[in-house]
Amino acid sequence: MPPNDDVSHGDIYHKLGSLEGKLETVLLQLGDRKSDLASIFARLREIEIKTAIGVGIAIAFSVLLPFIVQAAAPKLHFNVHEERQQ
């Protein structure tokens, strides 16, 4: 009696073709994921740059604002009443 686990060359080629198709699908999905990650990181880099610019502007404004207020103080009245001595 021949054993029941006889495998022909056709069976091997069929399974090999099936495996090759699955591997090709995985490689295509991996390529899609890489392009998705690249676009995500590009958008993240853009956001980081804009945030850094905004923080830089805020820091510059916070440094310059006291000098601007000090320079404009004589012309501005902040509801401060000076007491006059007689």
* Digit-coded pLDDT (tens) for 6-31: 888 888 889 999 999 999 999 999 98
pLDDT surpasses 50 at 1:
no
Residue with the larger pLDDT of the pair 11 and 74: 11
Give me the chain's average pLDDT, please.
Answer: 87
Looking at the chain, the whole-number percentage of residues with pLDDT higher than 70 is 85
Q: Cα dihedral angle (71, 77, 81, 86), rounded to 10 degrees?
A: 60
Q: What is the pTM of this model?
A: 0.53
Quote the radius of gyration of the chain (alpha carbons, Å): 37
**Nearest to 42, CA basis, from 30, 34, 32, 53:** 34
Instruction: For residue 84, name the pLDDT band (cuts at 50, 70, 90).
Output: low
How far is the CA of 75 from the CAs of 15, 48, 62, 67, in angstroms? 88, 40, 21, 14
